[in-house]
């Protein structure tokens, strides 16, 4: 019995429960012993699973920290690159240089396709706006909860209390 997984413990527990029913509710010494061992196995297994879950939580926290650290490094490099390129662009503009070439790199100012920049959305004529505008209204769960807590009925909503497994 020492190597059972949770499913095996549950199955064994149901078998013991059936024996108890067949015995008319009388708990024999064998059934009492089987129930005690079974509960002990369950507690041991669940405790081990809990430790594994806590280990995963700690690993996730460490990974999140590393992601934050790497994101910060990435953003610093992006900012540094943009700063360098702005200096290069400013210097090229200042001296009227359109192209610089060396052995391994070429920098040049090139014209891009024009892009539209909207400066005032309200000033744009209607013919350039979509014919159908979809309006969505976000649902305020906070307001609904307050109404339900106050005893009001809200059609299409209800309070549901859930249960979650907490590991400390």
Does 154 have pLDDT greater than 70? Answer: yes
CA–CA gap between residue 145 and residue 158 (Å, rounded): 8
Considering the domain boundaries, does residue 134 fall inside one? no
Considering the domain boundaries, does residue 144 fall inside one? no
Which pLDDT value is given to residue 121?
84
Considering the domain boundaries, does residue 39 fall inside one? yes
Q: In terms of pLDDT, which residue wins out, 145 or 114?
A: 145
pLDDT in tens, 36-49: 766 777 787 777 77
**Confidence grade of residue 63 (pLDDT, cut at 50, 70, 90):** very high
Considering the domain boundaries, does residue 109 fall inside one? yes
pLDDT in tens, 3-20: 557 666 667 777 877 787
Considering the domain boundaries, does residue 147 fall inside one? no
Q: Total structural domains in the chain?
A: 1
Considering the domain boundaries, does residue 146 fall inside one? no
Considering the domain boundaries, does residue 150 fall inside one? no
Does 145 have pLDDT greater than 70? Answer: yes
Instruction: Yes or no: say if 28 and 43 are a contact pair by the CB < 8 Å rule.
Output: no
Instruction: Yes or no: say if 82 and 49 are a contact pair by the CB < 8 Å rule.
Output: no
Average pLDDT, the chain: 83
Instruction: Yes or no: say if 139 and 155 are a contact pair by the CB < 8 Å rule.
Output: no
* Residue 88: domain span: 6-123
Any idea which residue has 């920290």 for tokens?
65
Counting Cα atoms < 13 Å in the Cβ hemisphere of 106 gives 5
Q: What is the DSSP letter of 150?
A: T
As a whole number, mean pLDDT of residues 49-70 equals 90
Considering the domain boundaries, does residue 33 fall inside one? yes
Phi, psi of 100 (to 5 degrees): -130, 130
**Confidence grade of residue 74 (pLDDT, cut at 50, 70, 90):** very high
pLDDT in tens, 79-122: 999 999 899 989 999 999 999 988 888 999 888 888 888 888 88
Q: In terms of pLDDT, which residue wins out, 133 or 90?
A: 90
């Amino acid at each position: 019995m020492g190597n059972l997984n949770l499913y095996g413990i549950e199955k064994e527990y149901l078998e013991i429960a059936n024996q108890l029913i067949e015995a008319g509710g009388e708990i024999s010494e064998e059934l009492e012993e089987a129930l005690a061992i079974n509960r002990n196995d369950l507690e041991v297994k669940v405790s081990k699973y809990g430790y594994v879950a806590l280990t995963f939580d700690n690993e996730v926290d460490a990974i999140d920290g590393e992601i934050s650290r790497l994101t910060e490094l990435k953003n610093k490099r992006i900012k540094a690159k943009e700063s360098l390129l702005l200096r290069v662009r400013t210097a090229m503009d200042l001296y009227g240089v359109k192209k610089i070439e060396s052995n391994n790199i070429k920098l040049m100012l090139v014209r891009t396709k024009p892009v539209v920049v909207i400066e005032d959305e309200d000033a744009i004529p209607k013919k350039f706006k979509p014919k159908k505008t979809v309006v969505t209204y976000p649902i305020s769960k906070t307001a609904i909860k307050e109404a339900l807590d106050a005893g009001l009925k809200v059609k299409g909503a209800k309070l549901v209390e859930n249960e979650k497994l907490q590991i400390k």
